[in-house]
Amino acid sequence: MANLLEEIQEGVINGQAPRVKELTQTALDQGMGPQTVLNEGLVPAMAVVGEKFQKGEFFISEMMISARAMYSGLNLVKPLLLSQKAESKGKAVVATVQGDLHDIGKNLVCMMMEGGGYEVVDLGVNATPDKFVAAVKEHRPDFVMMSALLTTTMANMGKTIQALSDNGLRANLKIGIGGAPVTQRFADSIGADFYAADAGEAVTKANMLISK
Ligand code: B1M
């Protein structure tokens, strides 16, 4: 079983979408849990891809091909995570912030929140503060969750919180942030209600806050 997870990782790193799809299906057929496939196979592979990019061993094209391979496995895991869904506990507006096109982590947050029993409004990537404001006015969510993968786009999380405050929408909202460069300290500095290191923690923290 451990070998299968290593092979999934290798498949993602090497950008082999059909192989990752096949290996993911085999792992699930053999009874491996969808969370294990996700957290020990698909997700860690992307960290290796990032290291390779940083060292100049991978270019953007390779990062994109790896992302596509990751999605070929993720698409098989997704319905299984969602089937554990319970009745709606609350609503979350989720997006990757302005200037940022990374969507894998954001999609995992959407998936885990849905699987955890929340209604999710996914605004996609490159979401401007105005887009968040409009979505909060329209959907009246309990949570706003923002993702940023670039140090240059993290500042747009603070700008979004400011825009929500300026529009009188901050008081009834719980705002959570995450993404590779984001930290608890940064969350505190911009006045977010919580930081989550991964999508599972986003659900745990949402559960803690919704019951308060
Ligand atoms: Co880009 N990229 N990328 N990239 N990319 C990174 C982020 C980078 C760290 C790579 C590196 O240099 N090592 C680097 C950023 C450096 C920095 O700012 N410090 C980088 C760069 C530089 C860039 C470009 C600028 C490259 C260029 O054009 N020169 C460019 C920017 C484009 C843009 O956004 N404007 C770019 C482009 C791309 C691709 C399009 C090729 C592709 C994205 C494809 C896609 O998303 N569909 C891509 C990829 C794949 C990566 C890496 C390799 C992988 C990201 C990923 O999907 N990780 C990444 C390296 C890395 O992160 N180590 C890298 C897996 C994912 C599951 O993790 O998103 O962190 P993550 O989500 C986690 C947690 O962070 C958390 O939950 C998830 C796990 O459960 N989480 C949340 C995320 N959001 C949350 C929100 C929450 C809570 C938790 O709310 C409450």
CATH of the domain at 174: 3.40.50.280
**Which among 63, 152, 186, 204 is the best mutation to test ligand 1's pocket, defined by most ligand atoms within 8 Å of the CB?**
63
What's the pLDDT tens digit per position in 48-66?
A: 998 999 899 999 899 999 9
Q: What is the pLDDT of residue 112?
A: 86
User: Which token pair is 104?
Assistant: 């894998």
149 and 184 in a common domain: yes
162 and 60 in a common domain: no
Question: Atom 57 in ligand 1: which residue has the minimum CA distance?
Answer: 104
Question: Atom 21 in ligand 1: which residue has the minimum CA distance?
Answer: 150
Angstrom CA distances, 14 to 9, 89, 122, stand at 9, 39, 29
151 and 78 in a common domain: no
Distance 20 CA to ligand 1 centre (A): 20
10 and 75 in a common domain: yes
Mean pLDDT of the chain: 93
Picking from 23, 50, 83, the residue at the C-terminal end of a domain is 83
Picking from 83, 104, 138, the residue at the C-terminal end of a domain is 83
What's the pLDDT tens digit per position in 175-207?
A: 999 999 999 999 999 999 999 999 989 999 999
Closest CA to 149 of 187, 203, 98: 98
204 and 101 in a common domain: yes
126 and 77 in a common domain: no
Q: What is the pLDDT of residue 115?
A: 78
How many domains in the chain?
A: 2
What's the pLDDT tens digit per position in 107-164?
A: 999 988 987 889 999 999 999 999 999 999 999 999 999 999 999 999 999 999 999 9
130 and 114 in a common domain: yes
- Asked if pLDDT for residue 212 goes beyond 70, the answer is no
Q: Domain residues for 8? A: 2-83
Residue 2 burial (10 A CB sphere; 0-12, 13-18, 19+): exposed
Report the atom number in ligand 1 closest to the C-alpha of 94: 90
Q: What is the pLDDT of residue 86?
A: 54
The Cα–Cα gap between 170 and 129 comes to 13
Residue 201's Cα: distance from chain center in Å?
Answer: 11
- The pTM (predicted TM-score) of the whole model is 0.92
184 and 135 in a common domain: yes
User: For position 31, which CATH number holds?
Assistant: 1.10.1240.10
112 and 189 in a common domain: yes
Q: What is the pLDDT of residue 85?
A: 55
CB 105 within 8 A of CB 199: yes
Which residues approach ligand 1 with their CB closer than 6 A?
A: 43, 46-47, 49-50, 53-54, 60, 63-64, 67, 99-106, 108-109, 145, 147, 149-151, 176-181, 196, 198-199, 202
Question: Atom 25 in ligand 1: which residue has the minimum CA distance?
Answer: 150
Distance 180 CA to ligand 1 centre (A): 7
101 and 59 in a common domain: no
Distance 105 CA to ligand 1 centre (A): 8
162 and 70 in a common domain: no
Question: Atom 32 in ligand 1: which residue has the minimum CA distance?
Answer: 101
Distance 131 CA to ligand 1 centre (A): 21
Picking from 53, 83, 113, the residue at the C-terminal end of a domain is 83
What torsion, rounded to 10 degrees, do the Cα atoms 12, 14, 19, 24 define?
Answer: -20
Q: What is the pLDDT of residue 87?
A: 66
Closest CA to 116 of 173, 176, 190, 68: 176
Question: Atom 53 in ligand 1: which residue has the minimum CA distance?
Answer: 50
115 and 30 in a common domain: no
What's the pLDDT tens digit per position in 158-180?
A: 999 999 999 999 998 999 999 99
Distance 44 CA to ligand 1 centre (A): 13
The Cα–Cα gap between 119 and 167 comes to 23
